[in-house]
Amino acid sequence: MSVKPTHFTGIKSLPRRTVLAGAASLAASYAVTFGAQAASIILSPEQARAPRVIGSDDAGITIAEYFSMTCGHCAKFHEKTYPRVIAELVDTGRIRFELRPFPLDGLALRAHALCRALPEKSYFRMVSTLLGQQKNWIGADDPIASLKNYARLAGISASDFDMIMSDRPFLEALVDIRQQAVSDFKISSTPSFVVNDDTSFSGALDYDSFLAEVNKAGL
C-alpha cells in the first residue's frame, strides 16, 4: 500500500460494513492474556519510540517491518507469512524481528498509538489482534469507538483510551518514526522491511520469497 499524507485530525469515516461477531470469545482471550485490568497508562515520546522486538539478542540479523494498521497488505502478510517467520526464523534464533509504525492515515496512527501504549509483552498481541480483525474495526460505523472496545478488552479504561488518542507528543513521536523511515530508507509503501538498518525490500511476500530476500542479506 502506497504512502498517503498523515493527519492528526479529521479521521474520515470508512464505508459501512457489517461488524463481525466474536466479541465474547475475544474478551475471554484478552482476560487470559492481560488480566482483568491493566495498570494506568503513562505516555511519553520515549515510550512511543522504544523498540518493539522479538527474538534472541544473539541473532545475527535484525529485520524491521514498517507497517500500517490500516494496510490490507500488512494484514495479509501477518496472516499468511508472519507466523512462519516467527516459527522458523525468530524462534530458532536466526533473526530478530522488530515492528515499526508507518501509519498511512489518522486512523492507523491512533491504532498504532493504542498498541504502543501497552506493555511490550502485550503490544504484539494487540497488533496481531487488530491486524487479524482489521476489516471489523475499520469497517465499523465509528472506527475509533471500535478501537475503544479493543482497548477495554485489554484492560484500558475509557479515560486512558481518550488520553492515548489525544496525546499529541505521543502521536507525533510515532509520525517521527515514519518520517525517519522515509528519510533513512526511502520507504514508500507498506509492508516494507529493512535488514540490519541497511538493505530493504517490500511487499506482502509469501514465506519463500521473504526468505529469499533475507538470504540476500547473508542469513
Q: How confident is the model at residue 41 (pLDDT cuts 50, 70, 90)?
A: confident
**What's this model's pTM, rounded to 2 decimal places?**
0.84
Strand order in the sheet with 53-54: 53-54, 95-101, 61-67, 192-195, 199-202
- The DSSP-derived string for 176-201 is HHHHHHHHHH---BSSEEEETTTEEE
Pairing of strands 192-195, 95-101: unpaired
pLDDT tens-digit map of 187-219: 999 999 999 999 999 999 999 999 999 998 776
List of domains in the chain: 23-216 (3.40.30.10)
pLDDT tens-digit map of 115-159: 999 998 899 999 999 999 999 999 999 999 999 999 999 999 999
**Integer Cα distance of 11 and 213 in angstroms:** 36
CB 54 within 8 A of CB 124: yes
Q: Which three cell numbers stand for residue 15?
A: 464505508
